[in-house]
Amino acid sequence: MQTLAPSQNQQTPPNTAPALPDLGLIKVKQKATWESGDFGEIARVIENFAEDFMSRQPMQRGARVLDVACGTGNLAVIAAGNGCLVHGIDIAANLLDQARSRAAQAGLRILFEEADAEALPFRESSFDLTVSMFGVMFTPQPAKATAELRRVTRPGGQIALANWTPEGFIGKMFGVFKTHVPPPPAGVPSPMEWGKEDMVQQRLRQGFTDVRITRQIGCMRYPFPPAETVEYFRKYYGPTLKAFESLTASGQDALRKDLVDLHTKYNIAVDPGCTEIAAEYLEVVATKV
C-alpha cells in the first residue's frame, strides 16, 4: 500500500510533544485490576517467596517497617511477627481487608491503609526499612515511586524490593499477554524494567548507596496440571483475568492455548497431576544516603 506524503497544510508541527498518558485513568484501571479476582489466593502460593526474601532483611525488634503495595500482607505479617512496628499500604481495598483479617487472626498489630505508592501518606524518614514484593514494579511512574521510597526511608535505612525479571517465568507470562492484548498507553514503562539490573541501577543512582542486586528463584506449586493452573490464574490473578476479559471468544482460546503451552514447558513437577514452576525475581537492596 502506498503512503501519501502530507500536503503543506497537513504537516505535523516539528516540535509537537507526544501525548502524555492519562494517569488518573491508568490508576483507576490498575485499582480495578488488582481488586478483581482474588489476589489473596495467589499470595498464598508465594508466601514461601516472602519468607525467603524477608529472612535476608534487617528486622530488629522495634524497627519501623513499611510494606508498599502490600496486597494481603505477606511481608508485613512476617515483619510484625519479628517484633517490628509495621505499616502496609495498597490501592486495592479488598486486599487490605484480607490483610487486616490476617493480622487480627495472628494477634499482630499492623496499620494497613489504602494509599498510592507514588504518594505515600508518611513523613520524611519515617521508616528504617521499606519493602515491596512484586508491587512497586507495577506503578506507572517509576521515578515518583522511587522518590517516595527514598523520602520515607531514614538516612542509613534500607529499601528492599522483589521484582519479576523479563527472563523469568512471570516475565514470559506477561510476554504472552503482550502478544494478545492491546499495548499499554504510550509513556507508561513496562513493569518488567524493574527486573533489569541496569535499569535498577539507573533509578537508584541518586540518594542511595550500597545497591545490591541479586537474582533469586522461588518455586510456585499448584495441586493441579498446567491447564487447570491457567484457569486458576484466570479466576484469581487480576492481570490474567483482565487479559481474558479484553478478548473475543476466539482470542481467549488463543491466549489460553499459549498460556497452557507456557506452563507445560516450564512445569518441573514429577507428579503429572501437579504444576511446579521455578520463577526468577530480582532482589534489590539499597541504603539511603
Q: Is pLDDT of 225 > 50?
A: yes
pLDDT of residue 186: 83
Q: In whole angstroms, how far apart are CA 282 and each of 80, 119, 198, 250?
A: 24, 24, 12, 35
pLDDT confidence tier of residue 143, bands split at 50, 70 and 90:
very high
Total count of residues recorded for the chain: 289
Could you tell me if residue 240 is inside a domain? no
| Dist. CA 228–CA 275, nearest whole Å | 9
Q: Is residue 201 part of a domain?
A: yes
Q: Answer whether 21's CB lies under 8 Å from 135's CB.
A: no
Residue 72 sits in a domain whose CATH number is 3.40.50.150
pTM attached to this predicted model: 0.91
Burial of 20 (0-12, 13-18, 19+ CB in 10 A): exposed
Q: Tell me whether residue 154 is in a domain.
A: yes
- The whole-number average pLDDT for the span 107-118 is 98
Residue 32 resides in a domain: yes
Residue 251 counted as domain residue: no
pLDDT at 13: 44
C-alpha cell at 74: 505477606
142's CB contacts (< 8 A; 6+ apart) are 189, 193, 194, 203
Q: Find the helix or strand (DSSP H, E) in which 241 lies.
A: helix 238-245
Task: Report whether pLDDT(240) > 70.
Answer: yes
What are the two backbone dihedrals, phi and then psi, of residue 94, each rounded to the nearest 5 degrees? -70, -30
